[in-house]
Chains A and B, each alone.
Chain A
Amino acid sequence: MLLLALSLTVLQSSDTQPLDGFPGLAAGRKPTVEIAWNRLYDYDEIYAHFDRLALTYPKLLTMEVIGHSIESREMRVYTLNNPETGSASSKPAMWIDGNVHGNEVQGGEAVVYTAWYLLENYASNERVRELVDSSSFYLLPMVNPDGRASWFRDAHSPHSSRTGVMPIDSDRDGLFDEDPPNDLDGDGSIVQMRKYMPGEGTHRLDPDDPRIMNRVPANDRGIRGDWIYLGQEGIDDDGDGRTNEDDVGGYDMNRAWPSMWMPDHVQYGAGPYPLYWPEARSIARFLYEHPNVAAVQSFHNAGGMILRGPGAESFGTYPRGDLRVFDELGEDGEKMLPFYRYMIIAKDLYTVFGGFATWTYEGLGIISFTNELWTNDRNSPDDRLGSDRAEQLWFDDHLLQGAGFVDWHAYDHPLYGEVEIGGFRKDVGRVPPSFLIEEMLHRNAMFCLRHARAMPSIVFEPTVLTDLGDGVTAIDVTVRNDHAIPTRTARAAEQGIGSPDLFTIEGENVEVLAGGFRSDRFRPERISLAEREPERLVRESGIGGRQTLRIRWFVSGSGTVRIRHLSEKSRDAEVEISLDS
């Protein structure tokens, strides 16, 4: 309630008259809903941003709760759609999500930014308006809100809080999550521990920067270091002789999806069966119930990648027709997202069984990408500054004034005695520093727009009637998909996913004698005639990307004829003609 009141105040106070539209161009323009894009927001703030947008643009943005997380946080889908041009489900839709891994937080901001950009520009930018009017967006900013909340609330390393928070007995001793890493010094960061052991260690301190430890090369001369690494900050909470071995949770919700799913012992984190966790299950249910989703984007961090499947080598390769679409979008993505590489998960990254975006393609037949947002390489636009440890510290010293690094400091450890604790904080490495967040968000949001605009768009060309004599008319219908994504991907057609496209013709005083798809623009007799029901042509492969389909119907009768194209992933298109002219 407090947040709602706040946003109302913001609305009322905006009495200056900026130029229409934001952003993209900066001078003299002010968004209706101001969001500072130079920081990261906790889960409730993410929803609050969306709620402010929904309050400001109530017609275009609506919210539904599709489920709850383990800790009962809402799984919210915000639907961005212009109801004046049709319901959300009547249009091809793009699904965008983020933050399935709790620590990969900026995916959430990327989803908010995309909504914000579309809404702020709807009134002033013709291209944005045209896109929003012809498609819809299902936006779920946080697949793992519990993990996100924990990342903000609790002490973490850059890599922790990836899991959800369902308790798992990772060390199989009958106790759950009883030996996590510990924030021993209470500074809100889980960093590293090291111990000074003169002449007995494996490492020595870098003479130029004692924050850095260098491993002593293997040698036969008895030369040893003075320091040893003791791993992550923590103690042996459960007294079983191991440290930090049973952290909160212990699974991976991006290994939980049905296609090419493998159990835990093959694929770490997969859980006992696909869609086991309520977060994943609620999303799957939503997507099964929304067959109009024709594009999927999922945001992760980090590494600067535009990923597509397959996730597992054993899948083989994707059908060529679909690869053309993936490649076109992926290659454009590389241009829009400097430092990002377009990659195949199984081939260029590592094996992922049961990944989300591989499931949305392999299981649901939707062109899908996973972007790994941010890479340390982006800290410097050229190779004078790289991203090894010394260079990261240089960056931290000069551009963050040392804010990202916990300096080594003494601690009296119950087992190891006097140790030092120090290292990079959780928000270094996998998320950008504050001043580079906005660029990351904008470029990725624009990649979403590029993808959304590729969703199928069907138009009928003028219909041609030919009088064949004896009261028989040939109706030549030409129907076009101007965009790159087919109404039925090759994967969907191959596996019989969803419903095939239908082309129907009807008229009160018309009898449809025959009909079929033409295969030659100039020779109408080259036609594959329907064996039955010529008034209802079924096409498993739909209309391909940038494909023109030609249909010829043979009819007798008179009056008006209505011709329709029905497809799950495009707006229904229809044309009416009169046989009487």
Chain B
Amino acid sequence: MHELALALCAATTFALSGPEDSPSELKLLDHAGLTAAIAQIGTAHPGVATVLPIGTSREGRSIEAVELSGAEAPGKPAILIVANLDGPDVFDSAVALEHATQLAEGYGSDDAITALLDTTTLLIIPRANPDAAEARFVSPRWERNVGGRGVDNDRDGRTGEDPPSDVDGDGAITQIRVLDPEGTWIVDPTDERVLVEADPKQGERGKYRVWTEGRDLDGDEQIAEDPVLDTRLNRNFPSGWEEHADDAGLFPSDEPEVRALMEFVMLRDDLALVLCYGAPENLVEKPSSVKDDAKNVMRIPPAGILQSDADMLAVLAKHYKETTENESKRAASDEGSFQRWAYDHRGLMTLSAVLWQMPEEWTEPEPDEEPAEEVSDEEAEEEEEMPDEGAEKPKKEKPPEPSPGAKRMKWVDGSEESWRFVPWKSFEHPELGAVEIGGFSPFALTEPPKSEWNAIAEREFEFVKELGSYLARVELAECVAIDLGGGLWRVEATVENPSLLPLQSRSARRTRTIRPAMLSIELPEGAKLLGGQVQKQISDLAGSGEREETVWLVSIETPDLITVSLETVNAGGATMRPEVN
């Protein structure tokens, strides 16, 4: 608690928008700084930006959204951007904040931004997990991914008694490696700084044990195995929630941040699309999908994105990659994640991007110049005839492929980012004796080099600006009244969705969580509806010009007084009088 308090006092600087001709410098802000910066956007752009309170974290920090919107429009759809759900993704919150700043500043001066905000509301939550994010700003640096409750990880009847700590006092919690006959790790043959798991099936015998840096405070010969806190926010949402897992929370929505975010999503029935920054991502690596009509297994729908939605996601992912050229990905389970909940249970098309992951650098060595590897068919036949000859050729040992860690070390070595790896250093550990402490620094694998910050924010912003154009927007493409004689009129209305995305995702049509479009006819006094429904609900309308026609039979003297209206919560709307034929 002392550390947290200190951090709050120390970090009072925050990014102010820079001069108009140069892009503002992205900054990583602690909670106080971020809160001030968010407030600043609202104060500086009162007509466009509104700060909305979302909730309060378990440790009492506020969570806020910036709502950005220009002109009002019926059924105006909203896009929700959520960043920093995982504590270490502090950089992502800077990007999201920068989006908010640029949108607020660009409204009225930048045509594209103005058009976007006049047709689409942007809701930006820069930091969904303020408690864990705060660890980025305190010493020792630690990739805190958890908030919430602690559990008795090692089942010894004590909770949180053996947490990670900065044993060597170098200001960062890294790793301990210790020579141990029971160890399961060996050094990567291509880079001795990197450890890989020994493969007993290849005759490899482990040499090291590897621990998160810490003590053995409970004397059980396990290091740092029972942290004080365990729940990871992005594991505490209801879809695919893993009951009784150490990091999943007591129950879904146990974490106040999780509940607040869900309540916000449920409150905003104008939401049409969600974009998350953080893992699990689904824009670079294609997520698993299931057929639209996949059968339930013991009454439970199989996990995965429904095929129709996966197809749309693939199109959006293509646009994303073209616009941003981002190829970063990060392995992560989607169980209990916000992303999965938003899609599975709320039916929202949900995109998620990992903004940066330390690249793995390695090029497979060129094949040998000797033609041994590539043989023509003829030669191959010869070889078959003379197998002995082939065997006699001196075999060249193929150099082993470096492990992913070693490939990342190559990137570190080639960059000017030596802080990202703490060289192993001998240390006399109070419980373990002689050990080495080192390894990748906290945040090293996921936080991009400073030189790339602005470029990343810019490239992501380009994609955000595109997003509005993909959202479903329904229109009354045609509305006519045809005279059938005898005062009878046939009224026809054609609803069209000219955009890319369908009116409702396949998932939303299953969850029934988004109110359908309502097409209704209103008649002046004296007129009578002789055929057709007064109200018709439409939820199944694909994009790219898909149409749905509705017919009414009306007895009326003045057909030009009929009103046909199309109403939605998140896909536009229209009111028309029929063209009288």
Contacts and interface: CB of A to CB of B under 8 A. Distances in A.
Nearest to A362: B243
A532 B219 contact: yes
A261 B244 contact: no
A566 B94 CA distance: 50
Nearest to A540: B155
A273 B535 contact: no
Which among B251, B345, B513, B537 has the highest number of chain A CB atoms within 10 Å?
B251
B344 A363 contact: no
Main secondary structure of the interface of B (DSSP, over half): loop
B190 interface: no
Contacts of B299: 266, 312-314, 351, 353
Nearest to B539: A172
Contacts of A264: 511-513
A417 interface: no
A240 B219 contact: no
A579 interface: no
B244 A173 contact: no
Nearest to A261: B238
A335 B348 CA distance: 52
B152 interface: yes
A387 interface: no
Interface residues of A, number: 40
A259 B243 contact: yes
Given A172-B537, A174-B518, A262-B300, A288 B250 contact: yes
A173 B253 contact: no
Contacts of B535: 173, 240-241
A538 interface: yes
A526 to B, nearest CB: 24
Interface in B132-174: 151-152, 155-157
Contact of A533 (B219, B298, B516, B533): B219
A259 B298 CA distance: 16
Contact of A263 (B296, B298, B511, B533): B511
Given A259-B243, A264-B512, A538-B157, A314 B251 contact: no
A497 B157 CA distance: 11
B243 A363 contact: yes
B511 A274 contact: no
A261 B240 CA distance: 10
B534 A313 contact: no
B5 interface: no
Interface string B322-350: 00000000000000000000001100000
B501 to A, nearest CB: 20
Contacts of A362: 243
Interface in B460-513: 510-513
Given A272-B345, A274-B253, A266 B301 contact: yes
B391 interface: no
Contacts of B513: 264, 272
A532 B518 CA distance: 69
Which among A262, A263, A273, A351 has the highest number of chain B CB atoms within 10 Å?
A273
A173 B537 contact: yes
B518 A239 contact: no
Interface in B265-298: 266, 296-298
Q: Which of the four size classes fits the interface of chain B?
A: 35 or more
Contacts of B297: 314
A266 B300 contact: yes
A275 interface: yes
Given A264-B511, A314-B300, A538-B156, A241 B534 contact: yes
B252 A274 contact: yes
A496 B511 contact: no
A453 to B, nearest CB: 28
B196 interface: no
A434 to B, nearest CB: 40
Nearest to A172: B515
Interface in B191-236: 219-221
A533 B244 CA distance: 27
A263 B512 contact: no
Interface in A441-500: 495-497, 499-500
Contacts of A273: 237-238, 252-253, 259, 262, 345
Nearest to A240: B535
Contact of B252 (A239, A261, A351, A502): A261
Contacts of B537: 172-173
Which among A240, A502, A533 has the highest number of chain B CB atoms within 10 Å?
A240
Contacts of A259: 243
Contact of A272 (B156, B244, B266, B533): B266
A539 to B, nearest CB: 9
Contacts of A174: 515, 518
A258 interface: yes
A532 B216 CA distance: 13
Contacts of A284: 251
A398 interface: no
Contacts of B253: 273-276
A313 B299 CA distance: 8
A258 B251 contact: yes
A173 B262 CA distance: 22
Contacts of A221: none
A314 B296 CA distance: 11
B220 to A, nearest CB: 6
Nearest to A239: B534
B517 to A, nearest CB: 11
Given A288-B250, A313-B299, A351-B299, A497 B244 contact: yes
B511 A258 contact: no
A272 B262 contact: yes
A523 interface: no
B431 to A, nearest CB: 12
A363 B251 contact: yes
A240 B537 CA distance: 11
B218 to A, nearest CB: 9
A265 interface: yes
Contact of A499 (B157, B238, B243, B533): B157
A265 B504 CA distance: 15
Interface in A398-455: none
A552 to B, nearest CB: 20
Contacts of A536: 157
Given A173-B518, A275-B251, A499 B262 contact: no
Nearest to A265: B511
Which among A172, A495, A536 has the highest number of chain B CB atoms within 10 Å?
A172
Contacts of B266: 272
A540 B537 CA distance: 56
A173 B533 CA distance: 14
Which among A265, A274, A353, A532 has the highest number of chain B CB atoms within 10 Å?
A265
B183 to A, nearest CB: 19
Given A272-B262, A312-B299, A499-B157, A265 B219 contact: no
B510 A265 contact: yes
Contacts of B241: 258, 261
Contacts of B251: 258, 274-275, 284, 363
Which among A258, A312, A499, A532 has the highest number of chain B CB atoms within 10 Å?
A258
Contacts of A495: 243-244
Interface in B242-262: 243-244, 250-253, 259, 262
Interface in A259-307: 259, 261-266, 272-276, 284, 288
18 contacts: A259-B243, A261-B241, A265-B511, A273-B237, A273-B253, A273-B259, A312-B300, A314-B298, A362-B243, A363-B243, A495-B244, A496-B152, A496-B155, A497-B244, A532-B221, A533-B219, A536-B157, A538-B156
Q: List the 4 closest A-B pairs by CB distance, nearest first.
A: A258-B251, A314-B298, A495-B244, A313-B298
Given A172-B537, A264-B513, A496-B155, 5 more contacts: A173-B515, A258-B241, A263-B345, A266-B301, A500-B155
Interface of A: 169, 172-174, 239-241, 258-259, 261-266, 272-276, 284, 288, 312-314, 351, 353, 362-363, 495-497, 499-500, 502, 532-533, 536, 538, 540
